[in-house]
Amino acid sequence: MKPVIAIYPGSFDPPTNGHLDLIDRGSKIFDELIVAILRNAEKSPLFSLAERRHMLEDMTEPFRNVRVDTFEGLTVDYALKAGASAILRGIRAISDYEYELQMALMNRKLHPELETVFMMPAEKYSYISSRLVREVAQLGGSVRDLVPGMVEQRLKEKLDPAFKLEHARPPRIGKRA
């Protein structure tokens, strides 16, 4: 039988424990799962595309059937190019439903052969969003338990200049710049 490939598209700015939970669940029902980061020139993301890709590659390293890619343009076009037959999306609460339904139906209109599959993350992640993680981190709150440790570190490096200084390599003495 043909392997079932799914894409998991999103902004992932930054990737959270909720995303990781969904990747874990998706990896168990699809033969191959491609985490597809949208390259959106209009938005000004906190993390560059390369940074987000690097974080997701690190997070998905333990999953043998998951890989990370980037795309621009329509999600459905990317999905078809990648040989996928499904789009995976997470629904945390009723508030997500309207937007997700609209997107799923629009994607179906564009390419009826692609199926959107919704999965729910564990309840303990149901309140986590990248936007809130950014906001909490930017205002100095703790994001422990909301994102993987490596993402927490990247957020600190990006947002806390003191952290950057503390962890910077010592200057080389005796050499002219």
Active-site residue list? 19, 43, 92, 130
d(CA 110, CA 107): 5
**The token pair that represents 173 in the structure block:** 């003495």
Is omega for the bond preceding 112 within 30 degrees of 0, making it cis?
no
10 binds ligand PNS (CB under 6 A): yes
Tell which positions 23-42 bind ligand PNS, by CB under 6 A.
38
Q: What angle do CA 81, 86, 89 make, to 5 degrees?
A: 115
Q: Does 75 bind ligand PNS (CB under 6 A)?
A: yes
Give the residue, chosen from 74, 101, 122, 150, that forms a contact with ligand PNS under the rule CB under 6 A. 74
Sheet holding 115-119, edge to edge: 66-71, 32-38, 5-10, 86-90, 115-119
9 binds ligand PNS (CB under 6 A): yes
Smaller CB distance to ligand PNS: residue 10 or 14?
10
- Closer CB to ligand PNS, 80 or 163, in the complex: 80
Residues that contact ligand PNS, how many (by CB under 6 A)? 9
CB of 25 or CB of 171, closer to ligand PNS: 25
Distance CA 82, CA 102 (A): 23
- What is the closest distance, in whole angstroms, from the C-beta atom of residue 176 to ligand PNS in the complex? 47
Secondary structure letter of residue 111 according to DSSP: -
- The closest residue (CB) to ligand PNS is 10
Q: CB-wise, 4 or 103, nearer to ligand PNS? A: 103
Smallest distance, Å, CB 62 to ligand PNS? 22
- Residue 69 bridge partners (DSSP): 36
* Positions 98 through 157 that interact with ligand PNS (CB under 6 A): 103, 106-107
Helices (H) and strands (E) in the chain, counts: 7, 5
CA 59/CA 149 separation, integer angstroms:
10
List residues binding ligand PNS (CB under 6 A): 9-11, 38, 74-75, 103, 106-107
